[in-house]
Amino acid sequence: MSWAAHQFETYAIQAHLPKRWVGRVSYLAIVVGDQTPDFVAKFWVYGFDIGGTHYGAAEPFKFHRGWPGAGFSHSLGFALLLAGLVYRFTRSRGWTAGLLLGMAAHSITDINDSVGTMLAFPFSTENFSIGTWAYAATPGGKYLDARAYYSSFGFVMDAFWLVVLLMSAKVLTEAYFRGVIVPADPKVWAWLGRRFPERALLAVYRATFFYGLARMIAWTGWAHLLHPDPLRGWDLSWTGPDWVPAFTLSDLSPWVALAVAAAFAAAIVLAVGRILGPEDSSDAVTVAD
Amino acid sequence: MSGPSPSVRRPALSEPTGRPGDPGWYTRRVELAIYVVAGVTYVVLGVFHKWLLNWVIGPIWLVAWVWLTPLVVERVRTARDRP
């Protein structure tokens, strides 16, 4: 799984939308879409303790990404189903498109760990992984997972997305918020604007970046500065770190995973293009309300 | 619909934000400082209390600092200036 990458990639997507889509895709929907796969699957992965009894998945990686389990949450089928339901009830093209982009980004980013994602569900229950780092979620909680992720190429992945975001730092500015983000989602921002001052709305928009950066610093600092473990240090080897078992659900070639991810991304882009339609058919171009 | 113009002048840090609802003393430098304080406090507390590091509390933490700090300062100033 990925950690802060899921926060940073939302802004990276926003910054790199094709010009004809800018101001028509809801950023809030991208965030919701990016959080949804783990919102559906994660609660049972680490589990919780009540009265000394642990409740949760016995094999978190199978529940999180497998079938039977919640692995469908990281798939094309689930993304299309959820986006379809949202469009059915809201008729918002901007939200439908944003949800699709966010869920696709999450599912594709997660092919980097050793378990990978069921991108092609419901056509296939095969997991696709390129194994960049080890999937390390265990029933014991997130500490081992965090230490493994922030000692491996997972840290590099977070840093990569942070750099991509900072190279397009204009997306974090007030001018961009007013000129692009609000017009793409006028009803929601207007509703919030009737309850909170604009500085709070701007903070809401920047909060995903804030949280991603803070958790990256906090967990890395905890793992390597405050509680370093000489037996569990940095290991920037492929599918590392080697001090944790790298769970897996498939032995398909990483090249197959990359090809399927590319096809998945193309399908999502085509779907978003169809949803948004020609430029003049947008339903969210004015700051009305 | 168009994005922000590249020719828009970047406001100085010493300028008030000028947003509706922001006090006159609330400059961009003050706002930046509030973001930094929110970040430092969240990271330091989060390192020692991991339950704080989640996607609900993290965003709320920032929004609360940015939203409430000017309100609290204004209330203190009003109380202090009251005869």
Chain B nearest CA to A134, separation (Å):
22
Of the pLDDT bands very low, low, confident and very high (cuts 50, 70, 90), residue B65 is very high
B2 with A23: Cβ contact below 8 A: yes
Which residues in chain B have their CB less than 8 angstroms from residue A207's CB?
Answer: 58-60, 62-63
- Has residue B2 been placed in a domain? no
Chain A nearest CA to B19, separation (Å):
7
Residue A280: its pLDDT value, please?
64
Residue A278: its pLDDT value, please?
86
The more confidently predicted of residues A231 and B11 is A231
Which ipTM was obtained for this model?
0.90
The answer to whether A35 contacts chain B (CB < 8 Å) is yes
- Has residue B8 been placed in a domain? no
Which of residues 41 through 70 in chain B touch A, CB cutoff 8 A?
Answer: 42-43, 46-47, 50, 53, 55, 58-63, 65-67, 70
Q: What percent of chain A has pLDDT over 90?
A: 86
**Shortest CA distance from A174: residue in chain B:** B4
Of the pLDDT bands very low, low, confident and very high (cuts 50, 70, 90), residue B4 is low
Domain ranges (residues) in chain A: 5-281
pTM of the predicted structure, to 2 decimals: 0.93
Instruction: Find the CB nearest B63 among A207, A222, A285.
Output: A207
User: Which of A154-158, A237-241, B8-12, B66-70 is least confident?
Assistant: B8-12
> Average pLDDT of A8-36?
97
Instruction: Find the CB nearest B62 among A203, A222, A286.
Output: A203
Interface test mutation site (partner B, options A42, A173, A199, max chain B beta carbons within 10 A): A199
> Average pLDDT of A10-22?
96
Residue B7: its pLDDT value, please?
55
B1 with A35: Cβ contact below 8 A: no
Per the structure, the count of domains in chain B is: 1
Which residues in chain B have their CB less than 8 angstroms from residue A200's CB?
Answer: 63, 66-67
- Has residue B6 been placed in a domain? no
- Has residue B51 been placed in a domain? yes
pLDDT averaged over every residue in chain A: 93
Residue A40: its pLDDT value, please?
81
Of the pLDDT bands very low, low, confident and very high (cuts 50, 70, 90), residue A227 is very high
pLDDT at A224 over 50: yes
Of the pLDDT bands very low, low, confident and very high (cuts 50, 70, 90), residue A118 is very high
SS3 sequence, chain A? CCCCHHHHHHHHHHHCCCHHHCCCCCHHHHHHHHHHHHHHHCHHHHCEEECCEEECCCCHHHHHHCCCCCHHHHCHHHHHHHHHHHHHHHCCHHHHHHHHHHHHHHHHHHHHECCCECCCCCCCCCCECCCCECCCCECCEHHHHHHHHCCCHHHHHHHHHHHHHHCCHHHHCHHHHHHHHHHHCHHHHHHHHCCCCHHHHHHHHHHHHHHHHHHHHHHHHHHHHHCCCCCCCCCCCCCECCCCCCCCCCCCCHHHHHHHHHHHHHHHHHHHHHHHCCHHHCCCCCCCC
Render pLDDT for A88-100 as a digit per residue (tens, 0 to 9). Answer: 999 999 999 999 9
Q: Whole domain around residue B36: which residue ranges?
A: 28-81
